[in-house]
Chains A and B, each alone.
Chain A
Amino acid sequence: MKFLPVGATALLVELDGLAAVLALHAEIGRRRAVGWAPSLVDVIPSARTILLDGVADRSAVAAEIRGWDVPAAPPTDGQVVEIPCRYTGEDLAGVAASWRVSEREAARIHAGREYRVAFCGFAPGFAYLSGLPGRYAVPRRPTPRTVVPAGSVALADIYTGVYPRSSPGGWQIIGHTDAIIWDPGKDPPALLVPGNRVRFVDVS
């Protein structure tokens, strides 16, 4: 566990991996519920870190967290969300080449497994789906696109994401879906929330 200062009032906790993040994030949630660190504004988990924004005394908070005995987070049984996907993305050829398979086989590899929403970020409803083995990790594009259309199914590192709405983005686009990923008029507004299990259905 490593603590890095972020600006004047935030603290980044760096952990060994996703399991440790889920465990510490759950612990922070339990303690906040009973009044711990009332100045905190945002707590943002990610693949390897938790960002605490709004920390009055960073040294004290870091020392406290170091002293916690954090139980491993229990596994959750989320519902399965099916996302129809046309594997016709602009970057599919490049991704398939990096996997040393045909585009058709790349689609089969991607659609042939179950994913889990690890955390949300980047934009409302943008879920980071884990499930691809490490050998299929791909880099982000060297320069982000200024516009990625809503419904773009894209890869970065080991994660799959579905752009909830048109936005700038640097992930490699492998396909497109017509599923509505984000609807502020609905409760919850996000189709993919942490804990959900997800399958992509090839409708190319």
Chain B
Amino acid sequence: MASICVERPGALTTVQDAGRPGLAHLGVPRSGALDPDAHRRANRLVGNPETAPVLETTLTGVGLRFFGQAVIAVTGAVAPVRLDGREVGWGVPVPVGSGQLLDVGRARPGVRSYLAVSGGIAVPPALGSSSTDLLSGLGPGPLVPDQILAVGEPSGRPTAAHPPPPPPASGRVELPIRLGPRDGWLTPAGRATLTGAAFTVAIASNRIGVRLQGSRVEQSSRGELPSEGLVWGAVQLLPDGNLVVFLADHPTTGGYPVIAVVDPAGFSACAQAAPGAIVRFRLAAAENI
């Protein structure tokens, strides 16, 4: 069984799997890979179950020394992938020999690359998941230099049958949203801003949420809203008129109005929108109840 020594942890590299759905009533965030498509694809490429734990990098990649043989694949944000300094493929399975240094470089474009290792990253699960949850502190901490990561026993065969995915959007992002549940808090002008204006991804964005600035959304004065349940993709309107799009590590409840929700089809784009990226919202199909 292979193991990995962390030589360069990068800006923020965490272990992620499919998270902890079903525990929100205890206040436990869902967590899990922010770009679920890229997470599943990376695992398929190396022959893992789709939900196996992988590494999620942030902007600056990661450097890892392998002990024992393994097959790896990098998906999500496009980044140079080097083995002992030699460029190898992104989005394809790559065999790694014992003693080799794997380096995933700066994301270009995008934010988060996913590094799957055949057998999966083996860390003790917390509440059923190996994911690092940065809001609650559940799961393993972010990678640190010289840390040793265990790798599980490979269970399937690597495959190159899946074509490399298109590079994720980054500089200009269009997110499909559905209005509600609290779109009644918007003034007509605020509604027009939401669907017509351009927003900029703020530097304070993280796994909890994408913070948007640049266009303020006007709300009618409706006083206080009692805290209520949140979902991944919820677009929360802050009192100062700025927006937060909640991602996987979002709190399970919140007290500012959720005026719209990003469709799951937009989750990858949210995960890959770098600070400074321009975001616009597009109305998806509405539904009456």
Residues of A within 8 A of B (CB): 3-8, 10-12, 41-51, 53, 58-59, 62, 119-126, 128, 139-140, 142-144, 146, 156-157, 159, 165, 167-168, 170, 182, 184, 190
Contacts and interface: CB of A to CB of B under 8 A. Distances in A.
Nearest to A25: B25
A7 B258 CA distance: 10
A42 B26 contact: no
Contacts of B239: 142-143
B287 A41 contact: no
B125 to A, nearest CB: 11
Given A7-B231, A46-B227, A120-B25, 11 more contacts: A4-B182, A5-B181, A8-B178, A8-B284, A44-B25, A49-B228, A53-B24, A122-B27, A123-B136, A142-B240, A184-B137
Interface stretch (B142-150, B155-163, B259-267): B259-267
A99 B226 CA distance: 20
Contacts of B127: 184
A125 B23 CA distance: 11
A182 B111 CA distance: 31
A62 B287 CA distance: 13
Indicate the size class of the contact surface on chain B.
Answer: 35 or more
A7 B229 contact: no
A165 B137 contact: yes
B254 interface: yes
Contact of B262 (A7, A142, A168): A7
A140 B181 contact: no
B229 A4 contact: no
Interface in B128-179: 135-138, 178
A7 B234 contact: yes
B105 interface: no
B227 A122 contact: yes
Of B24, B138, B256, B264, the most chain A CB neighbours within 10 A belong to B24
B229 A53 contact: yes
Interface in B236-285: 238-240, 251-256, 258, 261-264, 284
Most central of B229, B231, B254, B258 by chain A CB within 10 Å: B229
A51 B258 CA distance: 13
Contacts of B192: none
17 contacts: A3-B289, A5-B287, A7-B178, A12-B228, A12-B229, A42-B22, A44-B25, A44-B229, A45-B229, A46-B228, A47-B226, A48-B226, A51-B230, A142-B239, A142-B240, A157-B224, A157-B255
Interface string B21-56: 111111111100000000000000000000000000
B255 A8 contact: no
B180 interface: yes
A47 B224 CA distance: 12
Contacts, number: 143
Contacts of B1: none
A197 to B, nearest CB: 19
B204 A124 contact: no
Contacts of A43: 24-25
Contact of A128 (B22, B227, B229): B227
A126 to B, nearest CB: 5
A120 B26 CA distance: 6
A144 B22 CA distance: 27
Residue of A11, A48, A122, A126 with most chain B CB atoms under a 10 A cut-off: A122
A27 B283 CA distance: 35
B285 to A, nearest CB: 9
A168 B236 CA distance: 15
B126 interface: yes
Given A41-B22, A44-B253, A170-B255, A10 B231 contact: yes
A119 B228 CA distance: 10
Contacts of B233: 7
A6 to B, nearest CB: 5
Contact of A6 (B226, B231, B238): B231
Nearest to B21: A41
Given A58-B287, A142-B240, A124 B26 contact: yes
Nearest to B183: A4
B287 A122 contact: no
A11 B238 CA distance: 22
A184 B227 CA distance: 24
Interface in B192-234: 204, 208, 224, 226-231, 233-234
B162 to A, nearest CB: 25
A168 to B, nearest CB: 8
A121 B227 contact: yes
